[in-house]
Amino acid sequence: MNYAYLCTLIILLKQPPPFMKNFIYLIGITTILLLGCNSKTEEILQTRPNIVFIMSDDHAYQAISAYDNSLIETPNIDRIAKMGMLFTNASVTNSICAPSRAVILTGKHSHINGKIDNHFPFDTTNVTFPQILQKAGYQTAMFGKLHFGNNPKGFDQFKILPGQGAYYNPDFITKNEGEINVKGYVTDIITDMTLDWLKTERKPEDPFLLMYLHKAPHRSWLMAERHMEEFTNKTFPEPATLFDTYEGRPAAAEAEMSILNHLSWTSDDKIYPETINAMNAQELTIDEGRFENSVGRMNTGQLANFRAQYDKINADFKNNYLALNEEDKMRWRYQRYMQDYLGTIKSVDENVGRVLDYLEENKLMENTIIVYTSDQGFYLGEHGWFDKRLVYDESFKTPLLVAWPDKVKPGTTSDEMVQNLDFAQTFLDVAGVDQPSDMQGESLVPILTGKMEDWNREAVYYHYYEYPAEHMVNRHYAIITKEYKLIHYYFDLDYWELIDRLKDPKELTNEYDNPAYASIKEKLHKELEEVRKKYGDSDELNQKYINTFMDDVEKNGIFGVNKKKLEEIIEKRKTNKN
């Protein structure tokens, strides 16, 4: 009996198909007993863990029942927390889609990996952790939304949505089949692709990295047909800060993320262009393009099911909306927003359940680390907002649930300040692969396995760049500890905010000029300078990124920005230069 045969037997023994189980088990045990185990076979027995990385797009932790069940029940996502650890202070370094993904893949802050905003494509000369894992013998696959402006490197298989992708009948860019169109609902399709890969392409002899990435619940929200009746008839509790007046926080006041004023009537609220035309009211604008790109993609059957529910909403809107006062208009739009946003999450939860079931049924749970996260959080009416970007908790924090049987104690919680910056090194650590010294995160394995003596982080760094752009959130950087946030808005506004996280968890008061916080302020300023130095960020880099962005905006324009405001910024920049 040769060595290769023995290896095959041992591998089969570890993950046997059910019908072969007893037979192989007997032969395997006999073989091992006859030949004994040398060091090479022991090495094979110590197989490296599989990694299943599940990420949704814009999934607020407020919409996961393991965190908070006042809006929705997510029993399947919650299974991961029950099996493992729920992080209550997990955050991102830059709360916006593609930059977050670049941080996750590179283990480097935005100012180092260069992907600071959604505007410019990702620099593919960056080394990513999937490339390293692939070289180390991992089988790698990615399905769903990447949102990078280019294709992923280091994957044996991928099927990704172009850009934001579509909810209905989406197109995919694939590694081996070119661009394809698939009929159906995007969350179901991404899951079908994932399960299909697990069933037919996964090599049982290799450990694998599977990135299963949902488009949902990204705007413009379109839920699966099967959830439309239930969710369009629900009423949700309002957040306490729905009517925030932004006192003492000028950047928040300038942000264009108001549910009342900045959602699209057609694509977000699903008010049909014909309804708006019939109402002939100045406050209602038609965004035909966005409507066409979302609802317009439905086929006849899908559209009939959609209209069966949304016709009633349009009738109610037409008959009642304009007579409401401003507060009630906000309430109406908040309910409309929540119904559709949470409706898309229902199918994410169902589909995560399908993948967990498969892993369980095929004995893949035991040696697999499963992560559920989002590329950042999202405002669900807090401060009157939808969207993300600002360093306030609902978008700065992100859900993070990690299961790893036998390694992570089931049902545990951690409030450590962990970030999306840490994923790359965590996965390399899990795989037993060297972590490149220029990565800037830290492995979360000590926290996961209860070795807290190896973890001592007390603050994290945040930096948001995309301005002037859609939603008009000023550029800002910040240091965040468990107790405080010190934030500098530096373009186009220039001022500081200090938030007392424990006293003011809703983040409504800027304490920066409050004398009671003088010594805390001083300490935080010092720590902020240290953390910027540690990560290699600086005012010079800020200026470099402003120049690159504004030079391009002045030449090519930018989508979704108020023309007058943009001209003001350009004019001010010229004056400052001279």
Residues that bind Ca ion (CB under 5 A): 57-58, 97, 375
- Residue with smaller CB distance to Ca ion, 15 or 293: 293
What's the token pair of residue 530? 């240290």
| DSSP type of residue 91 | B
Q: How far is the CB of 562 from Ca ion (least distance, A)?
A: 23
Instruction: Provide, rounded to whole angstroms, the least separation between the CB of residue 144 and Ca ion.
Output: 12
User: Cβ contacts of residue 277 below 8 Å, gap of 6+?
Assistant: 286
Query: How far, in whole angstroms, is CA 8 from its chain's centroid?
Result: 39
Residue nearer to Ca ion on the CB measure, 64 or 359:
64
Q: In which order are the strands placed within the sheet that holds 157-161? A: 178-181, 171-174, 157-161, 139-145, 208-213, 50-56, 368-374, 400-403, 85-87, 412-414
Q: How far is the CB of 318 from Ca ion (least distance, A)?
A: 33
Minimum distance, C-beta of residue 552 to Ca ion, in the bound complex (Å): 22
At its nearest, how many Å lie between Ca ion and the CB of residue 225?
Answer: 24
Q: Find the residue with minimal CB distance to Ca ion.
A: 97
Residue with tokens 């000028």: 250
Judged by DSSP in three states, 7 sits in helix
- Which residue, 290 or 307, has its beta carbon nearer to Ca ion? 290
Q: Quick check: 165 and 190 in contact, CB under 8 A?
A: no
Complex with Ca ion: residue 60 or 566, whichever CB lies closer: 60
As measured in angstroms, the least distance from the Cβ of 146 to Ca ion is 12
Q: What are phi and psi of 198, to 5 degrees?
A: -60, -40
When the beta carbons of 57 and 466 are compared against Ca ion, the nearer one is: 57
For tokens 């240290």, the residue is: 530
CB 358 to Ca ion: min, Å: 26
Q: Are strands 171-174 and 484-491 parallel, antiparallel or unpaired?
A: unpaired
Rounded to the nearest whole angstrom, what is the least distance from the CB of residue 131 to Ca ion in the complex? 23
Q: Which is nearer to Ca ion, 67 or 208 (CB)?
A: 67
Cα–Cα separations (whole angstroms), residue 269 to 96, 273, 387, 570 = 22, 11, 15, 33
Using the minimum distance from each CB to Ca ion, give the nearer residue, 28 or 377: 377
Query: Closest CB to Ca ion among 259 and 313?
Result: 259
What residues have CB less than 8 Å from 386, skipping those under 6 apart? 219, 257, 259, 262, 263, 268, 337, 341, 378, 379, 380
Q: Please say which residue, 58 or 492, places its beta carbon nearer to Ca ion.
A: 58
Closest separation in Å from C-beta 61 to Ca ion: 13
| Helix (H) / strand (E) containing 368 | strand 368-374
Q: Which CB, 166 or 198, lies closer to Ca ion?
A: 166
| Residue for token pair 């680390």 | 369
Here the tokens at position 229 are 């009746």
Q: How many residues does the chain have?
A: 578
Look at strands 157-161 and 171-174 and give their pairing.
antiparallel
SS in 3 state form for 492-544?
Answer: CCCEEEEEECCCCCCCCCCCCCCHHHHHHHHHHHHHHHHHHHHHCCCHHHHHH
Measured from the CB atom, the residue of 340 and 375 that comes closer to Ca ion is 375
Give the shortest CB-221-to-Ca ion separation in angstroms. 13
For the chain, how many helices (H) and strands (E)?
20, 14
- Closest distance of CB 394 from Ca ion, Å: 13
DSSP 8-class letter at 51: E
Separation of alpha carbons 433 and 277, rounded Å: 60
Q: Cβ-count burial of 304 within 10 angstroms (0-12 exposed, 13-18 middle, 19+ buried)?
A: exposed
Least separation in angstroms between CB 172 and Ca ion: 19
Nearer Cβ to Ca ion (58/382): 58
For the bound state, the minimum distance from the C-beta of residue 497 to Ca ion, rounded and expressed in Å, comes to 23
The alpha carbon of residue 112 and the mean position of all alpha carbons in its chain are separated, in whole angstroms, by 20
Contacts of 194 (CB under 8 A, 6+ apart): 141, 143, 144, 210, 212, 355
Of 57 and 416, the one with the shorter C-beta distance to Ca ion is 57
